[in-house]
Structure 1
Amino acid sequence: MTCKRLALLLCALLLPVAHAAQQPSPPVAAAATPVQRPLLWKVSDADNAVYLLGSFHLLKADDYPLPAEIDRAFDDSQQVLFEVDPAAMTAPETMTKMQHYMGYDNGKSLSQVLPKPTLEKLNTLLAAGGGSVQAVEQQEPWAVNLALVLSVSQALGFRPELGMDRQLMERTAKAGKPAAGLETIDAQLQAMDSIPYAEQSQGIDEFLADPQKAIHQLNDMHAWWRAGDVEKLDSGMRADMAGKTPESYRLLDVQRNLNWLPNIQSRLDGVKFGNTLIVVGALHLLGNDGLLELLRGKGYKVERVCDRCEL
C-alpha cells in the first residue's frame, strides 16, 4: 500500500486507529465549522429504511458539530450499527488481539520481509527520533506504516477520539439506543493481516520517499470527505487502491462489503428492526463494489440525503 492508500484506510478501517488514544474527548463546539455535505444515503424498501453514513475515522475539533442531516438520520433510527461492536472496542482483550495480529506467526521479522533499501531508510527515519528498527522488528509492515501515518495525521490535528465513529458511539450509548457491529474485531484484523507483504512493504517505501506527500494527500482526502465529493473520493481513493494494490482492495473493501451485505439486507427485510443507521468508513460506500451499488442491485431504493447537494 502506498502512503496514500494507507492514509485512506482511515476512511475504511476502524479498529487500528480506535486505540491510538486511550481516552475519548468530546468535540469542541465553540469553534465549530459544520461539515457541509455529509456522505449519507437512505436505502429503503416498502416499510423501513437503512441510513448509510460514510465516516472518516480521525477528525478535527472544527469538524463539529455534525450537519443536521446526520442528526435527523440518528433520530429516525431505532438502532445503530458500526463496523465493530462499540462494546468490543473497549474490551480488555482487544489490545491483546491487536498486538497479536500486528506481529508475526511464521517466524519472520520486519528485517526479513522489507527490501533492504526500504529497511535502511526506515532505520534512518526512526534513528532521527531516537528510535531504531529493532524496536519495531516484530511488527508487520502494515502496522509500522499505519503508525507512521498516524503520527503524521496527529501532527496535523487529526484525533481518533474525534472520529465520527467514536463520537456517534458515545451518542448512541447516551441515547440508550441498541448498538452492534457488522464484523468482529478478529475479522477486521485478519483482513489487514492477510495483505501480502509486497503490498505492505510498498507503503512504507513510498512514505519514506516523500513524507510530505502523505501530508498533502491526507489533507486532500479530508477536504473531499468534508465536501461530500463522491467523484474525487472515488477516483482519488477507491480506484487508486483497486488499481495499484488489488489484493489489499479485495481484502479490505470488496470482501468485507460482501460479508456485511446479508446483515444490512436483514435490517431492511425484517420489519421488526425499524430504521437503522449504519456508520462505516467512507471507502465502503464507493464504486461498483460499494455498499450503495450492491444494495441498489438488490432492488432497494437508494437516495442521497444532503441538504446542500445538487442532486
Structure 2
Amino acid sequence: MKKIFKIYLFILLFSLIFVSGQEVKGENKGQSQKINISPWAVSDLNDAGFYGIYPLDKIKAKADYKRIADKEDLDTLYKFTKEKLGALGISVKNENFIFKDFSRKEILSSINFLLNADDSFSQKIFFGSKKDDYLMVKIPLEEAISLYTRATRIRINESGKAAKAFFYEATKDGSKAYLLGSIHLGTNEMYPLKDEILKAFNESEILYFEIDLTDPDLQNFYDQEMFYKDEGSLKKDLGDDLYRRLEESLKKLNLNIKNLDKVRPWAIYSTLSMDHENKYGKALGVERYFLFLSEREGKEVGELENAQMQSKLFTRLSTETYKELIKNILDELDKNSYKNINRGLYLMQKAWIQNDLKNFNNLIGTEASNEADNEYNKSITDGRDEYMAKKIDEILREKKGRTIFVVIGAAHVAPENSVRRFLEDMGYNVSEK
C-alpha cells in the first residue's frame, strides 16, 4: 500500500461524527450548562483549546471558569503560550514570569513581558476599566484565558504565521461564496486561522458543509447504516481467516467494537484508516471549529450533499473490494503500524497551514499501488466536485446579493480541476484570498 494516507481526505463521516470532541458550552438558551462560564468568554476559551494554549483536557465538565485564577492556571497559560509562539519562530522571553498577586494588571504585565511588548499592546486585548481599583483585583480564570487567547491570535496574525489554508472567493452577479478547503482531522498547529478567513465567515449569511452536521438525526442514520439489516455478517463476508486477523488487530489497537460481526465492511475500513491515538488525528478539524462558531453566533447551517449521498459513496463498493481493502490496510498496520498514515496526514496539515498547493496536490494526486485502493478513491471522488459547484450556484441564484461560507474537504478546492474550476466554467470570478 504505497500512499495509504491519502484516504484521510475522505473519511468525513467518521472524523466528524464518530470522533469525540470537546467544545465549550456556555449559558445560551438551548445549550446544556456543562461549565460555569460567562457567555462573552466562551469563544475565547474554545479558541484557547484549539490553539493549544489551554489544553482541551483541562476543559472538564462542571469546571468553574468564573473562579479566581490560581498559580497553576497562570503558569499553564504562560507555558503553553510561550511554546506555541516559540514553535512558530515568534520572539518570546525565555524566562518564566513569576505570578504573585494574580491581579488583572499582573496578567497584562505577564503578557507584555512574554511578548517583549509595551503597554500599547495591552490596549489591543484589554477592554475593561483602566482604573487601579479594577486592575488590581484578582483576575477570574475566564478573563486570564481570554487575554492570553487574544494576545496569541493578534501576535500570530501580525507575524504572518496564522494558518493560510486553501481559501477562495467566488463572485458572480453580486453574489459571493467563500470557499475554505478543510482538513477533517486537525491539530493545534492548524490554529489560529488567518484573520481574513474569520472576517469572511462573519460577513456570510449561511455556513455550508458537505453534510449538515447539526442534523439531530445524523448520528442515528449512520448508526443504522453501519450494521447489517438482514442475516448478513462480517465474518461471512470476510471469511474466517481475515475475520480472525481483524479481531487480533482491533485488540492490538485497543478498539473494542460492539457486535463486530454485524458491522459492515465499509465502517470497519473507515475505522482502521484512523489512528485514534495519534496527535495528528485529534478532533480539532476545521468543520468542528466552524460548527462551534455557527452555534455561538446563531448562524444558519446548510449542506451541499446529504447523509444518504455520502453513505452511498462507501456502500456502493462490492464486498470483494472491501475484503481487499481491509486486507491491504491490515498488511500496512502489521508492517508499519500507523507510521506512514500519520506521516501523510501531518504532511497534508503542514501544506494546508502554509497554503502549499504544490505539495498538497502532489500528496493527493498519487496513484494507489493496487486496484482496490484506486477503486475506493474513484468511488468517493467521481462527480462530486461538479455536483457541489452546481449546488453552490443554485444557492447563490436563489437570492441575488447573497454571501455564503462553504467549508468542504481540501481535495475539493485545492486542485485546479476542482469545485473552483467548475464555478469558473459557470462564469464565476474565482480568486485566492
Q: Compute the TM-score of the two structures, normalised by the length of structure 2.
A: 0.61
Indicate how the Cα distance of structure 1 residues 129 and 76 shifts in structure 2: closer, same or farther if over 3 A, else same. Answer: closer
Contact 2:185 2:280 in 1 (8 A): no
1:51 to 164, 167, 178: 178
Partners of 1:243 and 1:35 in 2: CA distance: 38
Question: 1:131: Cα distance to partner?
Answer: 6.9
Tell me which residue corresponds to 2:238.
114
Tell me which residue corresponds to 1:140.
264
Tell me which residue corresponds to 1:240.
367
Aligned residues: 298
Question: 1:282: Cα distance to partner?
Answer: 0.9
Indicate how the Cα distance of structure 1 residues 8 and 241 shifts in structure 2: closer, same or farther if over 3 A, else same. Answer: farther
Contact 1:292 1:302 in 2 (8 A): yes
Tell me which residue corresponds to 2:219.
95
1:205 to 327, 334, 340: 327
Q: Sequence identity of aligned pairs in percent? A: 20
Q: What SS is found at the alignment partner of 2:326?
A: helix
1:259 maps to 2:383: no
Q: What SS is found at the alignment partner of 1:84?
A: coil
Partners of 1:243 and 1:273 in 2: CA distance: 47
Tell me which residue corresponds to 2:278.
155
Aligned residue type for 2:281: F
1:178 to 279, 300, 308: 300
Indicate how the Cα distance of structure 1 residues 246 and 46 shifts in structure 2: closer, same or farther if over 3 A, else same. Answer: same
Partners of 1:233 and 1:157 in 2: CA distance: 16
Partners of 1:284 and 1:179 in 2: CA distance: 19
Contact 1:84 1:184 in 2 (8 A): yes
Q: What SS is found at the alignment partner of 1:87?
A: coil
Partners of 1:167 and 1:133 in 2: CA distance: 28
Unaligned runs of 5+ in 2: 25-45, 54-80, 89-160
Tell me which residue corresponds to 2:18.
19
Aligned residue type for 2:409: G
Q: Which runs of 4+ in 1 moved over 6 A?
A: 130-134
Indicate how the Cα distance of structure 1 residues 219 and 249 shifts in structure 2: closer, same or farther if over 3 A, else same. Answer: same
Aligned residue type for 2:328: E
Tell me which residue corresponds to 1:188.
310
**Within 5 A, what are the aligned runs for 1:292-303?**
292-303=420-431
1:76 maps to 2:76: no
Q: What SS is found at the alignment partner of 2:178?
A: strand
1:85 maps to 2:207: no
Provide, for residues 218-237 of structure 1, a one-character-per-residue CA deviation record: whole Å limited to 9, x for no partner. 22222222222222222321
Partners of 1:178 and 1:189 in 2: CA distance: 24
Q: CA RMSD in A?
A: 3.0
Unaligned runs of 5+ in 1: 306-311
Provide, for residues 112-138 of structure 1, a one-character-per-residue CA deviation record: whole Å limited to 9, x for no partner. 333666444323323435778995222
Tell me which residue corresponds to 2:341.
214
Provide, for residues 33-55 of structure 1, a one-character-per-residue CA deviation record: whole Å limited to 9, x for no partner. 65532111111113121111001
